[in-house]
Amino acid sequence: MSEPTKVPSTFLLGGEFTINRMGYGAMRITGEGIWGPPKDKEESLRVLKRALELGINFIDTADSYGPNVSEELIAEALYPYPKDLVIGTKGGLLRTGPNQWPINSSPEHLKEALQGSLERLKLETIDLYQLHRVDPEVPFAKSLEFLQDAQEQGLIKHVGLSEVTVEQIKQAQEYVKVASVQNMYSVDNRKWEPELTFCEENDIAFIPWYPLAGGNQQALEKLKSVGDKHQASVQQIALAWLLHRSPNILLIPGTSKVKHLEENYQAVNIKLSDEDFSDLDKLSSANISG
């Protein structure tokens, strides 16, 4: 059995912010279907406060979570914010009901969304503002021109993108310096492998969402097998694999429970051997696309 590979604990986001690579995704502190207030508001507030106590200094949210609810709770729980806390939010989705996410990345909507996020989060500048989706009904250049202008006005420090291809990242770089890419990615869902490679080559943070991807049965069995060796859960091993996979990966697992938050955070202490990593890596070879 080989020695575990040393895994860096931080990433320099946008060449400016030193981020602990285990962050927190604030989508789940809303109601069912990511709609309305949470069933247990006090527990949601405790989750946010406990995240900072654990050393988490990157929180990912969006105006569409609730809508508005997640951002409002972050400000209620944590404002005034610690100096090292980086809050990333997103704009570009509408909400018409529980689990409904129509896209609108028009400059007009993004202007309204950004202004709302600034007010709810009680900020003058968003550290990381991410385009939630490329809108097929709006020229990508129009969305990018808005982000460029908002950055020049000082409303945004760094710009991120979500669910984008390498070509779209390159197009965006003609307007702004892309600091982060947030695409679905996990040990058993590697569709966006080329985008991760591009991020590594260009010093861009890669933020995987849905880090377990539902888990096909083969993946769950292998994750459990590795987890048994480390006395860890399937979820913890899936997160640990991502931390080992690339130094550019920032994790944002979400939860509405303090206990689950603490369990997720323990993944930073799991040291996978080369054999562990290789065994898990084999799960997704068929899903890696060029």
Catalytic residues: 65
Q: How crowded is the C-beta side of 211, counted as CA atoms within 13 Å?
A: 28
Task: Using alpha carbons, select from 99, 86, 48 the residue that is nearest to residue 256.
Answer: 48
User: Are residues 286 and 72 in contact, defined by beta-carbon separation less than 8 angstroms?
Assistant: no
In single-letter form, the type of residue at position 7 comes to: V
Q: Are 147 and 176 in contact (CB under 8 A)?
A: yes
* Residue 19 contacts residue 205 (beta carbons within 8 Å): yes
Quote the CA–CA distance of 199 and 213 in Å, as a whole number: 21
Separation of alpha carbons 24 and 72, rounded Å: 16
Spatial separation of the C-alpha atoms in residues 19 and 277, rounded to whole Å: 24
Q: What whole-number distance in Å separates Cα of residue 120 and Cα of residue 107? A: 20
Q: Say if strands 10-13 and 17-20 run parallel, antiparallel, or are unpaired.
A: antiparallel
